[in-house]
Amino acid sequence: MSDEQDKNSASATRASLPGIGCLAGVATAIVVPTFVFVAILIANANNPSCGTPADSGGCEMGLASGTITAVFIGLVLGASIAVAAAIAARVRRR
């Protein structure tokens, strides 16, 4: 009975390809927008026209739209990592 439990526990601890793909998708969907948000925030802080009456919210909208776009870019990047991992796993099996 303990041999069967060892086999089951070993397979349960091994990383699965869908799990790696899901983790890559979620990680890149969080990391990429965070990086973009901080980069645009720093750029806006160094821009003297941001926050003036002539700006009329353009800097803030750029921050929001850049971050939202980065979520989709992060998801595509994560999916690409998952596909590359799947191809690499199939090549290793041969």
User: Which is higher by pLDDT, 9 or 64?
Assistant: 64
Residues near 75 by beta carbon (within 8 Å), at least 6 away in sequence: 25, 28, 29
Buried b (16+ CB within 10 A) or exposed e, 28-37: bbeebbeebe
CA 18 to the chain's CA centroid: 15
* Segments in 14-57 forming alpha helices (H): 17-45
How do the domains of the chain map onto residue ranges? Answer: 17-93
Phi, psi (rounded to 5 degrees) for 55: -70, -40
The region that residue 14 occupies, defined by phi over 0 for left and psi between -120 and 50 for alpha, beta otherwise, is beta
pLDDT tens for each residue of 60-92? 898 899 999 999 998 888 888 888 877 887 787
pTM value is: 0.70
